[in-house]
Chain A
Amino acid sequence: MPPQSNAPRGAGIEFRHGCRAARTAVTIHDVSTTRDELLAAAAEAFDRHGYARATIDDVCDRAGVTKGALYGHFSSKKALALAVLERRAREWTRIRERLQRVHRSPLQVLVDFGYAVDRDRAVVQRLLFQAPLCDDVAQRHVARWTATVLDLLRHAENRGELRDGVDLAECADGVVAALVGVHLMAMAVDGRNEAVAEVWRTWLPAVAKPPVYAALRIAPR
């Protein structure tokens, strides 16, 4: 409903409201494009240099915008980093939803979701586990990952895919710890491409009924 129709104030003010709304509609489009470019550039800079060494200047250069324009969107390097993480988290939600449409088995969703997250690990790990971001947001993100894993395990349980007596909360905690460990190791030591598959090979046979496990694809696609 347009704001004019039910605004309680005088006609002049209503008119101004209407004007402002129209102007905002135009700028939001520009704003979101620049913002997206800045976020993409920031993700690249953080990935390459790490949070501590990445600079606002570098992000501006990559995005081709001025410092003033950047500060119009993000008040600080930290705000920029938080926005990069937030965008990545939203992407993961979309990936999970897509996987849930493709795969019948929640465990197959879990396996492929693990690989999707693994492909983003450089930027996420470099940001999330770096001080000072770590203290403020890492706990929340870890809780979110754990809730996702737990949710998929619950779906699997409801579909009768799991063995009896599996403690789902402990499994979710253990799987997230193993994946975080894999990411940290991979960032520090080269040549560990098989590591995520190894996590699934350890956990899934213990969790899934044998015929369910046998039907899963454990390798990345």
Chain B
Amino acid sequence: MNVSQGARTRAALVAAGIDLFDRDGYENTSLDAVCRSVSVTKGALYRHFPSKQALAVAVVEEYFRRWHLVRADCEPRVSPLQALVDLTHRMAELTATDPTVRVGVRLLFTTELFDLLAGMHFTSLTTTARDLLRQAAAAGELNPNLDPRREAEAIVSAVVGTQALTVITGKPTTRLSTAWHHRLAHLVPPTRRSLYRIG
């Protein structure tokens, strides 16, 4: 097998994992079913993934890649705070609509992968939020005397909770709009609040 063929097989296995975990759930999906759906032998699968957990890790990494793309896409042009608001909405929306994100979040929050990977991911989310808040403060968008780290953690908690409830209830949610509405009252001077799109 040459390298590109191997990479193609791996990508096909990850895609099949996402499909099957999404449809049947992680617990109910067997590696045999994954092999069948890609038409490869179990031996070929084991060359890439020694266990179901290893396949799950690959799916969660795919979700992380999606997060990094969304973050790169949300670069602050005019307002760093608006970029942060948009970023959180985008993450919540993708959790409801994008199978890779939905399955990745579900695996990350509801399997043993939580202990392995969630801390790192939450730190990455919090650092991004904190950096955008610092830029917003530097651009004069925020009330004085706010602690960007603390505010970032609160914002990320709301995003993480919204993601968790979205994958649990299967329903998209408007929770973040209301949360941002209240949060802006605390972050931004009254005269500037109407400048932001939060819904």
Contact = CB atoms under 8 A, between A and B. Distances in A.
Interface stretch (B34-42, B132-140, B175-183): B175-183
Contacts of B25: 131-132, 135
B30 interface: no
B158 A50 contact: no
SS class, residues of chain B in contact with chain A: helix
A201 B187 CA distance: 12
Contact of B118 (A131, A180, A188): A188
Interface in B140-194: 150, 153-154, 156-162, 164-165, 168-169, 173-175, 178-179, 181-183, 185-186
A interface secondary structure, majority: helix
Interface in B86-127: 109-112, 114-115, 118-119, 121-123, 126
Interface in A112-156: 129-132, 134-135, 138-139, 142
Contacts of B186: 201-202, 205
A182 B27 contact: no
A134 B156 CA distance: 22
Interface size band for B: 35 or more
B49 interface: no
A129 B165 CA distance: 10
Contact of A187 (B114, B121, B175, B185): B114
Interface of A: 50, 52-53, 129-132, 134-135, 138-139, 142, 167, 170-171, 173-174, 176-182, 184-185, 187-189, 192, 194-195, 198-199, 201-203, 205-207
